[in-house]
Structure 1
Amino acid sequence: MPTCIALIVAGGSGQRFGAERPKQYLALAGKPVLRRTVEAFLHHPQVTAVRVVIDPSWREAYETAVAGLGLPGPVAGGASRQDSVRNGLEAIAADGPADLVLIHDAARPLVDAGTIDRVIGALDTMAGAIAAVPVADTLKRAGAGAGPAVVADTVDREGLWRAQTPQGFRFPDILAAHRAAAGLSLTDDAAVAERAGLAVALVPAKEENFKVTTPDDLARAERSLMSALWDVRTGSGFDVHRFTDGSFVTLCGLQVPHDQGLEGHSDADVGLHALTDAILGALADGDIGSHFPPSDPKWRGADSAKFLRHAADLVAARGGVIAHADVTIICERPKVGPHRAAMTERIAQILGIGPGRVSVKATTTEQLGFTGRREGIAAQAVATVRLPG
């Protein structure tokens, strides 16, 4: 099988989107847009590796977005998209020989495996191939002049296509074409190939493979994703740990100062343990003890964020998303209220979802029972998961 490298171009600033950060780092149904795009290629059996081109000033956001995916270091982008692609191609060349390359916009997170298949398949006989959709709407050309646009004529749409990505090429050919086009301003990589005399095939793609450019596009992408994930599951979890000597307790990923600690094999984080069990319950995939046995010494003192991240990864591996997480801490002391916002943010970060999808609450038992006697802390959690039907 030929080596096929996916080059994801994520160096744009997203100025038209109007957000505080580039759109590729915004959340889309619980995951950053960039992560969804990268995973589409990482999970494709014909893609050998993935390289990402970024604006180095957003390196921290990039690392958060792709955490745990095992990608090589990102490539620094250039002044224009064309420069960024050329930088990415040069980085691939420096890694060693490559047969094929798929160049894809980070802001097209809904690309499907079938489109990737067709682009790669076309390269058996063609030097280049691009995903595209035939123009179906009637096209009008506006006349010149001030004031409202006025129709000058109707454009014949016969033979017209709207170009998308991925745009695939035989690697040596597109590298040479980009080097020869340095300093020019061409509309896409197909135009670079055309200038070099390379034949480029048009491969039918789907309307869902649109580019996220505006907030409305992001909302449309989320609706599209969620409509495909209609198997809604709910799981619950419960955990208890007794107090012991110490100066803090770990709750929902935070170390909260207290005159006692919590006893447990790991860090005894009742909040994250209960939520981990809730997610595993929604998946019908055992409980936290079956995945991380307390008899295994390697989990002694472990950060419970690892357990929760594992549960979230299991959801992602099944093509699903975590729609909502709700945790209730049950104790007399310490007070949870002052730390609630930070706990919410920490859980959202571990799960890779927006904080608006996480709830952290606290209650007491009115001094009844073991929590009322301040012998320990309990937590219960509910998680809602959406999976492909």
Structure 2
Amino acid sequence: MPIDAIIVAAGRGTRLGGALPKQYLPLGSRTIVARAVDAFLDHPVIRDVVVVIAEGDEERLGAALADRPRAVRVVHGGETRQASVARGLDALPAADPAAGVMVHDAARPFVSAAVIDRVAAALAQSAAVIPAVPVADTLKRVDGSEVVATVDRSALVQVQTPQGFHVAALRAAHAAARESATDDAGLVEAQGGRVTTVPGERTNFKITTEDDLAVARASLLEVPVVGHGFDVHRLEKGGPMIIGGLVLDVPMRLQGHSDADVALHAITDALFGAIGDGDIGHHFPPSDEAWRGAASDRFLAYAADRVRKAGGRIVHIDLTIMCERPKIGPVREAMRARIAEIVAVPVTAVSVKATTTERLGFTGRGEGIAAQATATVLRSME
């Protein structure tokens, strides 16, 4: 039986909150939706993959799957999950009624090949198959905050996806549906169809809340990696000086092709170093006139975004500025706050220190300023 897959990714993830729909959030080195799609693209029993998305999410999905050589078909979803699945069904070959289809939620990124195997095998005997796991917790019926009764859980299971169907059976169930259902098997049940279960896996959970997302991220193997950055810029007369993302009203400034913010340049290189992504000169070459006079906060924000796209989380930045003047102490806290804002981390994750070289060397003579930084990143090493 040829089997296609429909990945439902048209929801907005309102229970999780945030401006970005949850399926496009990073989860280690991949996004949530990419992990779900990968499982089916990589499985030998799956012939074709249809991804159902909301209108306007084309670029997001394209970016999430940019490194996948095998293409997916993309269709726009409807107002409800049920409508979105129906549109996915419409995208399947109409002349192949003997085919099977699996419907999977994009918010279940950890579906295993073994679960897909079990659903596919059961489709040889049943027109509707769902993975399920026993209910492990004691269940209570409540009225408000008061417990009314304990519920017998012996005959209860938690249902997962992918749910597998003969295409003809699922199309008929959708066509006959008079009420909405929380899953496609419910539509088949409503028409008197027989639904069978296969063992699911507790790791195949759905990301719905912040707690779920935290558990998903904690389940990945993340290791700390440290990047180091160092930069030097010459001092010249005239002001103001731009350093650490601040504009200081002092009678000297730093020379450079951009705004010469030596502190932000050091942090930028530290972030690139943590993910093995070249250096600031590679991404923003001084030979390119486009970067003449450019604000260095753009470079730093770009580097932080590259870290996140590589599946990393910035957990700490440690910056040391080496100069005789200006004095960094009076602006240290403002500098920490500005760096934290650019990188989008809590201010507690940023350390700013200053030191002199006891009047030795070019910094001691007041000819220039040096800065070094380390960036600690938690990164999935899958």
**TM-score computed with the length of structure 2 as normaliser:** 0.65
Q: Does 1:380 align with 2:373?
A: yes
* Percent identity for Structure 1 against Structure 2: 29
Contact 2:23 2:33 in 1 (8 A): no
Note the C-alpha offset of 1:82.
1.9
Q: 1:274 to 1:155 in 2, by over 3 A?
A: closer
3-state SS in 1 of match to 2:161? strand
Q: Distance in 2 between matches of 1:21 and 1:2?
A: 38
Contact 1:102 1:169 in 2 (8 A): yes
3-state SS in 1 of match to 2:108? coil
Q: 1:238 to 1:133 in 2, by over 3 A?
A: same
Match of 1:326 in 2: 317
Note the C-alpha offset of 1:222.
4.4
Match of 2:349 in 1: 359
Note the C-alpha offset of 1:132.
1.1
Match of 1:169 in 2: 165
Match of 1:209 in 2: 204
Matching residue's letter, 1:385: L
Structure 1 runs not aligned, ≥5 long: 281-286, 349-354
Matching residue's letter, 2:315: H
Matching residue's letter, 1:86: A
Deviations 1:7-32 (A, max 9, x none): 134425535x6x46688279687789
Contact 2:300 2:343 in 1 (8 A): no
Match of 1:347 in 2: 343
RMSD: 5.3
**TM-score computed with the length of structure 1 as normaliser:** 0.64
Residue number among 218, 221, 225 corresponding to 1:229 in the alignment? 221
Q: Distance in 2 between matches of 1:113 and 1:169?
A: 17
Q: Distance in 1 between matches of 2:348 and 2:144?
A: 51
Match of 1:157 in 2: 154
Q: 1:179 to 1:161 in 2, by over 3 A?
A: same
3-state SS in 1 of match to 2:233? strand
Q: Does 1:36 align with 2:37?
A: no
Match of 1:130 in 2: 130
Contact 2:9 2:105 in 1 (8 A): yes
Q: Distance in 1 between matches of 2:173 and 2:115?
A: 24
Q: Does 1:262 align with 2:260?
A: no
Q: 1:235 to 1:124 in 2, by over 3 A?
A: farther
Note the C-alpha offset of 1:178.
2.1
Q: Does 1:75 align with 2:47?
A: no
Note the C-alpha offset of 1:202.
1.6
Contact 1:371 1:378 in 2 (8 A): no
Deviations 1:129-183 (A, max 9, x none): 322113455667x59x99944338x64724x4221122233455434432332x5
Match of 1:104 in 2: 104
Structure 2 runs not aligned, ≥5 long: 67-71, 292-297
Match of 2:295 in 1: none
